[in-house]
Amino acid sequence: MESRVVISCILLSLFYFCGAEEVKLAVKGGNSIAKTDDNFICATLDWWPETKCNYNQCPWGKAGVLNLDMGNKILANAIRAFSPLRIRIGGSLQDQVVYNVGESAQKCPHFERRENGLFGFSEGCLQMDRWDLLNKLFNETGALITFGVNALMGRKKSKDNDSLVVGNWNPENAHDFMKYTASKGYKIDSYELGNELCGSGVSARIEAEQYGKDIIMLKKLVEDLYTDPATQPKVLGPGGFYDKEWFNKFLQTSGPNVVHGLTHHIYNLGPGDDPTLINKVQDPYFLDKVSQTYKDISSSIKSFGPWSRAWVGEAGGAYNSGGKYVSHAFVDGFWYLDQLGMTSTFNHKVFCRQSLIGGNYGLLNTTTFIPNPDYYGALLWHRLMGKNVLSVSHTGSPYLRVYSHCSKQTAGISLLLINMSNSTSFEVSVADDTNLYPKEYIGTNQREEYHLTPEDGNILSDVLLLNGTPLKLTESSDIPPLNPQLVDPTLPIKVVHDSIVFVVLKGFKAPACA
């Protein structure tokens, strides 16, 4: 008898299965609890050369700003699919980049390995013909650009503290570069000053009061060079790890309406060679720990910079180029999409992934440019999850993570369900908790569902299945269509173990989404 039950379960389709745990979601659609930017999804183009290595591997290849193949058709199509994708140009070496333009550029060096250099490298140089080619790519693909400016120009190391860098920022080279950029009509959404120089820093640090004065100078440059308020780039900073005292002082010094985006970095999974990395990315209790940082930065903004908005300016999960077997695989989506959901509930406007291409955590494979599973998760978020965030809760397993937003392209709401359990599946029903008396929501429109699972059930696979079908580039190297499965709205949402599901409820009447 027992064998018959097992056989019966196997014969059911992938999404209609036996022995699932029933879960009821309560969605409050009366008011939004937070708001993101329309272009919440962001990815970084980094400066690392091929010789950037960690843990006996060199995973960056030709993915850096200075050696990227910008004529690659897959790259262009992957960016264009977001229409638009926010791209941040920056990273560890940005504070060693000289812009080869104007009288301020005395020399134009190449990045070279140097033991006493910042992050083990010498200064490098951005030629303007290279910058022209980059902007050609951005213009053709409709990308939104954040450019990370070198914040170490004109400074020197403190005599009393080897990690502390002192002196005023010299903006001359940045001015010449920004002037060239503006004169060419290149569209820049925002300029960010420095990378990981705040708090205790990483390879170098600057005091908060000095940084505040410097970003005022950057703001002045932007206003002088971009006189039309409608197209004037935003100013971001400080682009590093959150330190409460430092960030508060920075906001107090820079003052009102200077810093538009208060950018901070997240690498909450530890080093990329951590053998427990695969456990961390699917442990909801571990992933919850970083929420305190999101709460604290929101508190800093409320108290000292209400004109600013919180941005995750860089997040790779695991630092030092990510985990070799984890950061590009299906299982990384548990960390990545959960962080997108979590930061959005804490009123973060932008979440910038490290990186678009390169390292082990690129949305695109370093050598082939073929999208990794997280690319498709990011694209579905961008297309389905609107900027108004709704309150959603359930009393089921903590391994089922759920987030809700107003739908981006249609009336109704979108849900993101992440099942981190490797054994338990769920049957999910939705209740409308907008009014005094919650009631089960049963729509009249067919429900749109996007079920993401790994090939062969292997969470370390880099092949992603959408509703059971592998996602592969078309013959013309285009991103494949991401079509939903249409489901009878009277049926519960089926969420198998080790899976991620996006759901669109078109008929859900949420006043916050009107």
Least trusted range by pLDDT, from 45-59, 111-125, 293-307, 343-357: 111-125
Q: Report which DSSP code applies to 456.
A: G
The answer to whether the pTM exceeds 0.75 is yes
Q: Side chain identity at 451, as an amino acid letter?
A: H
- pLDDT, the chain, mean: 94
Decide if 194 contacts 148 (C-beta within 8 A).
yes
CA distance 101 to 388: 42
Active site amino acids: 196, 314
* Better-predicted residue by pLDDT, 438 or 365: 365
Give strand pairing partners of 350: 311
Residue 194 has pLDDT above 90, yes or no: yes
For residues 125 and 105, what is the distance between their CA atoms, to the nearest angstrom? 9
How far apart, in whole angstroms, are the C-alpha atoms of residue 382 and residue 386?
A: 8
Query: How many percent of the chain have pLDDT more than 70?
Result: 96
Alpha helices in 226-270 (DSSP H): 244-254
CB neighbour burial string for 140-151, b if at least 16 within 10 angstroms, e if fewer: ebebbbbbbbbb
Higher local confidence (pLDDT), 14 or 384: 384
| Number of C-beta neighbours around residue 103 at 10 A | 8
Q: Which structural domains are found in the chain, ordered by start?
A: 21-33+391-513 (2.60.40.1180), 35-386 (3.20.20.80)
For the stretch 3-15, pLDDT in tens is: 433 333 333 344 4
Q: Residues with Cβ < 8 Å from 63, sequence gap 6 or more?
A: 46, 48, 355, 357, 358, 359, 362, 366
Residues 6+ apart with CB under 8 A from 3: none
Residue with tokens 């709401």: 413
pLDDT at position 18, please?
Answer: 55
- CA torsion, ordered 12, 15, 19, 23, to nearest 10 deg: -160
* pLDDT at position 1: 42
Cβ density class 253-263: b for 16+ within 10 Å, e for less: bbeeebbbbbb
Over residues 248-287, the pLDDT tens digits come to 999 999 999 999 999 999 999 999 999 999 999 999 999 9
Pick from 98, 96, 223, 122: nearest CA to 173: 98
Look up tokens 């059930």; give the residue.
457
Q: What is the dihedral of CA 87, 89, 92, 95, to 10 degrees?
A: -150
Sign of the CA dihedral running 283, 288, 293, 294? positive
pLDDT of 442 reads 85
Q: What is the pLDDT of residues 451-497, one digit of tens each?
A: 999 999 999 999 999 999 999 999 999 999 999 999 999 999 999 99
Q: Are the beta carbons of 176 and 221 closer than 8 angstroms?
A: no
Distance CA 379, CA 82 (A): 6
SS percent in the chain: helix, strand, coil, step 5: 25, 25, 45
Rg (CA), the chain: 23
Taking residues 498-513, report their average pLDDT. 96
Q: What pLDDT is recorded for position 115?
A: 84
Q: How would you label 202-232 residue by residue, b for 16+ Cβ within 10 Å and e otherwise?
A: bbbbbbbebbbebbebbbebbeebbeeeeee
Q: Helix, strand or coil for residue 282? A: coil
Q: How many CA atoms lie within 13 A of 200 on its CB side?
A: 0
Q: What is the 3-state secondary structure (H, E, C) of 36-63?
A: CCCCCEEEEECCCCCCCCECCECCCCCC
String of DSSP letters for 288-335: HTTHHHHHHHHHHHHHH-TT-EEEEEEE-SEESS--TTTTTSTTHHHH
| pLDDT band of 427, cuts 50, 70, 90 | very high
pLDDT top residue among 17 and 388? 388
Predicted confidence at residue 255, as pLDDT, reads 98
Give Cβ neighbours of residue 370 (< 8 Å, ≥ 6 apart).
74, 364, 473
- pLDDT on residue 108: 86
3-state secondary structure 111-166: CCECCCCHHHECCEEEEHHHHHHHHHHHHHHCCEEEEEECCCCCCEECCCCCCEEE
For 106-156, the pLDDT digits (tens) are 788 899 999 888 999 999 999 999 999 999 999 999 999 999 999 999 999
Averaged pLDDT, 56-63: 96
Q: Which residue has the tokens 């790519």?
A: 137
Structure tokens at 304: 């000292």
Rounded-to-integer distance, Cα 350 and Cα 203, Å: 25
Which pLDDT value is given to residue 15? Answer: 41
Residue 270: alpha-carbon gap to chain centroid: 17
Mean per-residue pLDDT, 309-338? 98
Residue 85 has pLDDT above 60, yes or no: yes
Per-residue pLDDT at 337 exceeds 50: yes
